[in-house]
A and B are shown apart, each in its own frame.
Chain A
Amino acid sequence: GENVEQHPSTLSVQEGDSAVIKCTYSDSASNYFPWYKQELGKGPQLIIDIRSNVGEKKDQRIAVTLNKTAKHFSLHITETQPEDSAVYFCAASIRAAGRRALTFGSGTRLQVQP
């Protein structure tokens, strides 16, 4: 099955700096890579996603890059703000028996210091 590894586990940055979170996946058949933000006691919220036919996608201060050859993808947050503090999860999805199940990374706890 798919295995997703995520680094770093914790990340502390100063407000205004950039933050980068990296993930690798094992199954070359994976074709959908979402990123989720989870605040304490809440469910994950989709913040950006990318499909395997695209190398980069940007939405305001958030961008995701995908390198299919190396099987890794990254989340980039620019001009970080204290409200960006949360746990971020990457995930990979493969259509297996029509289920499109997500395999999650282990999460990165981002702390933005004001």
Chain B
Amino acid sequence: GAVVSQHPSRVICKSGTSVKIECRSLDFQATTMFWYRQFPKQSLMLMATSNEGSKATYEQGVEKDKFLINHASLTLSTLTVTSAHPEDSSFYICSARDGSGGANEQFFGPGTRLTVL
């Protein structure tokens, strides 16, 4: 099946710093990638949708200037949490959709646990 990787798997940073998370589709080209946030014992909440070569579409309530998304190629999307604060501590998960054949399936990465001190 399709494989999506994320890096890093875990990051701890100081308040006020920026953190970049990478999401890669390893064996397929992802025309669309999605970024989710998951708090403990809660469901996944969609943050934004990114299409290769265009600006990301953010969900209501998600600050685009705080969560910078770049989808520069068909296999890589990055999420940068700028000026991170403790309330940004969460589990960030990306997913990628295989653009071929009009498929709906989304394949998820293993997630990145961000802890902001």
Contacts and interface: CB of A to CB of B under 8 A. Distances in A.
Main DSSP-derived SS at the A contact region: strand
Contacts, number: 56
Contact of A101 (B49, B108, B113): B49
How big is chain A's contact interface, by range? 20 to 34
B105 interface: yes
Contact of B34 (A46, A89, A102, A105): A102
Contact of A44 (B42, B44, B97, B104): B44
Given A89-B44, A107-B43, A102 B106 contact: yes
Interface of A: 31-32, 34, 36, 41-46, 49, 51, 89, 93, 97, 99-107
Interface of B: 1, 4, 6, 32, 34, 42-46, 49, 57, 93, 95, 97, 104-111, 113
